Each structure stands twice: as structure tokens, then as C-alpha cells.
Amino acid sequence: MPFPGPLLRSLLYGIAVALVAFALLTWTLLTKDVRAVLIPRLPALVVVALLAGAAGSLMAWRRLDDAQRWPSRFVHALERLRALGPSLRIAQTDGLPAQVEDSFNLVAAEWQAERTQRQAAIDHATQALATERDLFAAVLGELPNAVIACHDTGQILLYTPRAMELLNTHAPDSYLGLGRTIFSLFRRSAILHGLERMNRAAESASPSARVLLATREGALFHARFTPLHRGRASGFFLALEPTQAAPSEAADTEARIDHRRRLGKLRAAAEILHDAPDLSEAERQRFIAIIDEESRGLAEALPRQNDPQWPLEDTSAETLLALTRDAVAAVTHQAVHVADPPALWLRCETFSLLAILRDYASRIAAEGASALRLEIVEELSQPQLCLGWNPAVVLPPDVWRRWQHSVLDSPGSRLPLSPIEIVRAHGGEIWQQSSDAGACLTLRMRASEPTEHDRDAHAAVPVWDVAAPLVHADPLDHPLRALSFTVLDTETTGLDPSGGDEIIAIGAIHIVNGRILSREVFESLVASTRRIDPAAQQLHGIDAQMLQGQPSLAEVLPRLARFCEDTVLVGHNLAFDRRFLELAGDRSGVRLQQPGLDTLLLSQLLYPQAGAHKLEALAERLHVPVLGRHTALGDAILTAEILLRLIPMLEGRGYGTLRQALDAAAAVPLARLKY
């Protein structure tokens, strides 16, 4: 038996002192005669008294020890319950009072019943999900089309037998398997381009995109990208059809010779009919038959203008310029000036065209081209995409001819086709030229007149009129979901705004009525004389050369302020971005003074036990795909997606208004961060 604790020891000492005091008091009250009788028996009486006192103390000790120790035994029982689960029951041998024992076992039984019920619900839902999955797989198995279903990451989730058959026939070295990545089958650049086109169409009635895909072995397929779900897609469908490449050079040359032969016969027959009016009727009919035969043959031999071999789509000039700007900037590492797009539509396959422009731009950039510019103009009712630059250097004639007829094989532009084949498949022309004003590459294409459905599908989201009267003049006491937000992010030369680091890129996007408006974006590089810290450059990839010719922060800030008017600012670690903007505002006089929500603080508010609150960690926690990381606009879009998922959680915690959310966020430890 363990030695009693301090409380029990003090109690026992008190009992002993009381007994001794009682014995002394009793002795003093006895008469002399009684004392004389007891004195000879005193040793025995003392021994008996001590034994009785010891026995009583021991009994009291045991009773008091049990009363003191049952709470610790109860805590131990709770720890066992947590470790072993609700099936644990305690008995009298555990040393707990009967009432505590009954209550403990009752709570454990209720917990076990609740867990059993919850597990049954989970099993039912799992079974229903498995049934839906099997049904979906069965439906896909019966489809005559070649369809591959992929996760956002590119992991293959399902595929139809036709897809396996198609790839085995046209790309036997490719392996289609569950759990593999789609990037192992097709060129990564083509897949990413298709996803970008699909995402650009995400707000349309038909959010899909057609792209020409090439396998790593060079086989070509028409592909249609379609999201698995409307809105923020969790994956995508890839529907494949086989295609043939544009005619080879040898076949094309042979076709042109045949065309000239037929045209020669037509011209000769027509000249004879014109110059020999005295021909007999039989001879005249013979020449007319020659004209009819050769014209029919020529009509059949000439390729149709709307050749179905290529997945041409109606694309707005605005979209094509934006795609071309990003592609050229990526390979030249230079900013590209884009002229205002005309209200034109073009019929084209964007991936192959971008492969041409990307490859050519990398070549002329190596020759020293800079000050890149893009525009689309209309000449004789035909649109022309012009990529211009300075100084006036172009590829030498022999290099130009070789490039036109060589298969595209540079990184990011690999296609088993030559530029001239791609251009001819589009029914267009391509040439380079130079002048005193500079040089340019011109690509002439076919215009198109989209249907009303196409116009709706590509229509820009209406821009919020910041000059209109505000519905809520003071947003603090209005619901979060009723507010308009500007989600922004910056890239900087370093991490020390007070030490002189500067903003070199700003990206922002609007959220209105709980919807991210992908057409309402603000994006700008910013000129800076500050040296870019190597660690920062490694993250965002912006170097000093890319900032040459860009507007200063004093020029950018007024435009940003107008973009942010009548909205609530949002950012991840917004205090960092605001500090840079405040210091710049002190110099320029332009300040963003509206309230701001910081998703970093909201993360700590909603997940106080989480160890990490970085943007990637928060996105993973909320199952938001991370794309375009460490670009100002890419991070702003990611933060916007996160905010839309945080708002219902804030409402569930009682932070339904902007004021409530701001007050709660200001109380978390990370709110004490200063820059």
C-alpha cells in the first residue's frame, strides 16, 4: 500500500494528538485510589490504547484514501476509454463509486450507439458512391467514343475501351492505365494549353475547348476538353478522335503539279472554243466535255476550305492576343506590348499557331530582338496577326526557308508538323519583313462569323460600373456574401518594405455576388531600380530585363486604386502587401484606404490548431487546386477561390458581417505581425 499523501498524514497526526490529549485529560480526572489501582497496569493499558488507536487510524486511512483516490481512477478510466473506444465498460473492481460507474458505462454505451449509427451511415454512403462509380464506369464502357477522365492533377481516373483501342492503334508505344498521368501520353504543353482554353470558357454555356494533341511519339489527335463539373472543376474529360497531319511536302508538290496540269487543259480548251468559232458541233461538245471533266477533277482535288481534319474554332481576337502574349513572353522572358484588339473573330487552332509563334519568337530573341509588340489588323477583309520587334533583324532567307519547312521541335512547341503545313491547314499565309520602323512576322488567317451561341459562349462578363451608386455605402455591417471584393497580390524585390524593397508586379481580380469574374483582372509589371534579391527571383521568376520599359509604381497605383474602388480588399498576408502600398502611397499620394480581409488571419481564426497557415497549406486544407503559384495574378486567383470557401465557415462561426470578421481576425496572434 503506498504511503499516504500530505492530507492523510496531517489528518492522522491530528487524530493521534487528540487521543493523547483525551488520555491525559481522563488521567487527571481519576481519583487517587483509581490511579493507585491502574498504575501497576499502566504499561498494558498504554499498549492496548496504542493498538486501538493504530487500528482506528488504519481504518480511517483506508476509507479516506479510497475517497481521495477515485477521481484519479476516474481520469485513468477516461484515458482508457479514449484509447480503447466506446466498447470499454468498468466494474466494481476498478475502485469507483457505484453511481460514477453507472454514469460512465451509460455515456460509453451512448457513444458506442452513436458511433455505430454514424458508421452505418458512412458505409451506406460509401456503398452508394461505389454503386454510382460502377454505373459511371459501365456507361463509359458502352460509349463508342474515346474518352479519358482525369483529375485536376492529370491523373487518369477512367477511360473507355475505345480510348485504349485508339491509342493502341495510332500510338502503340503509349500506355494508357488507371492512376497514370495524362502527361505521360501527350505533350504537357498541349494539355496545359487545352486546360487554359477550357478554363477561359468556364463561364460560358458550353465550357469546352478543342485542341490538336500530339503524343510523345508524334501521333496527332483532335481533343475536346470538358470540365467534370461546372464552375470550379475537379477534373476534366478528354474526348479523342484520330486525325491526319497536313499533307507532306512531297504530296503537296505532287498535288500542285496535278492542279497545274488540269488548269492547263482547261485554259487550252477554253482558248480553242474562243478562237475557233467554226468548230463542228461534235468537236465543240468534245472540248466542252474536257472542260467539264477537268473542272470536276480539280474541284475534287482541291482541299475544302472547311477541312474537318483540323479542329478549328471561332476565337476572338482578344483571346488570341492574350494567349500569344503569354506564350511569347514565356520563351523570350520579355514583356510584350499588346495593342487594343479589334472586334474580330478568327477561325483557328490555337495550340499549333502558338507553337509557330513561340518557336519563331525564341529565334529572333536570340538574334537580339526586343520591344516586342502584338496586334491584329484587318487587311482586305482578312485578319493578320503581327508580331513586331526592334531592331529590324529577321531570319536570313535560307534560314527562313528551312524553318518554314522543318518540323517544330523546340521545347514547348513540339509538333510533328512544319510551320508551312500548319499555316496551309488554316488556309493562311506567313511572312517576315523589316523596315526602318522595325521588323515583324505576319500571319494571315481566315475570319469567321460566330453563331449567336458562340457569341454568348465567349462574351465577357459585364464589368462592374464603379461610377454607379453603391448599394452599401458602409460595408462593415453588411453580410460578407453580399460584398464585392478585390483580391490582390504583389511580387517584390525582397521581403523588407521598410528597408527599400519595392513592388515589381501586381495582380488583382474581382469577386461580385460570390462569383470570381475572370475577365475583371488587373495585372501589371512595375519598373524598379532596386536589385532583385536572388531568393525572391527564384520564386517569382521576374528579372531586371523583364522590367525594362514597364510603367513605374507611381503610374500603376492610380489605375490599381480605380480598379479597387467600392470593394473590400482581400489578400493572403495582406499586411505585407499593404505595407508596400502604403509606403508607395506616401510618395505618390495614392492610397488604398478601404477595409481589408486577410486570409492568413482567417486561417488562424478558423484553424487555431493548424501548424501551417501558408497559402499552399490553406489551399490543400480547403481542397483548392494550386495553379499559377508565385505569380501575382495567379496567387490572387488562388486567394479568391480560398475566400469563397472561407465565407460559409465564417458564417457558421457567427462572423457573418465584415465587421465581425475583421474584429475576430484582429484578435488572433498572427495579427501582431508588423512589416
Q: What is the 3-state secondary structure (H, E, C) of 336-380?
A: CEECCCCCCEEEECHHHHHHHHHHHHHHHHHCCCEEEEEEEEEEC
Residue that the C-alpha cell 501551417 belongs to: 612
The catalytic position among 151, 259, 478, 630 is 630
**What is the C-alpha separation between 235 and 195, in angstroms, rounded?**
10
Q: What are phi and psi of 316, to 5 degrees?
A: -70, 155
Grid coordinates given for 480: 460578407
**What is the C-alpha separation between 473 and 469, in angstroms, rounded?**
9
Using an 8 Å Cβ cutoff, are 542 and 555 in contact?
no
Grid coordinates given for 254: 505532287
Q: Give the list of residues 6+ apart from residue 240 with CB closer than 8 angstroms, or none.
A: 146, 147, 148, 163, 166, 167, 213, 221, 222, 223
Q: Give the list of residues 6+ apart from residue 494 with CB closer than 8 angstroms, or none.
A: 501, 530, 532, 533, 536
**What is the C-alpha separation between 129 and 630, in angstroms, rounded?**
37
**What is the C-alpha separation between 227 and 564, in angstroms, rounded?**
31
Using an 8 Å Cβ cutoff, are 642 and 653 in contact?
no
First-to-last C-alpha distance (Å) of the chain: 62
Residue that the C-alpha cell 488562424 belongs to: 604
Q: What angle do CA 174, 175, 180 make, to 5 degrees?
A: 125
350-366 vs 188-200: helix crossing angle, rounded to 10: 120
Grid coordinates given for 290: 474536257
Q: Give the list of residues 6+ apart from residue 597 with CB closer than 8 angstroms, or none.
A: 485, 568, 569, 570, 574, 643, 658, 661, 662, 665
Side chain identity at 510, as an amino acid letter?
H
Q: What angle do CA 666, 672, 675 make, to 5 degrees?
A: 120
CA distances from 121 to 117, 124, 135, 465, 476 (A): 6, 5, 21, 49, 41
**What is the C-alpha separation between 465 and 543, in angstroms, rounded?**
36
Neighbouring C-alpha atoms within 13 Å toward the C-beta of 272: 16
- Candidates 519, 513, 509, 518; CA nearest to 483 is 513
DSSP conformation letters of 287-341: HHHHHHHHHHHHHHHSPPTT-TTS--EEEEHHHHHHHHHHHHHHHH-S--EEPPP
CA distances from 344 to 148, 203, 316, 377, 446 (A): 34, 21, 6, 9, 11
- Candidates 194, 206, 197; CA nearest to 456 is 206
Residue 594 burial by Cβ neighbours in a 10 Å radius (0-12, 13-18, 19+):
middle
**What is the C-alpha separation between 65 and 4, in angstroms, rounded?**
7
Active site residue 630: yes
Catalytic sites, residue numbers: 630
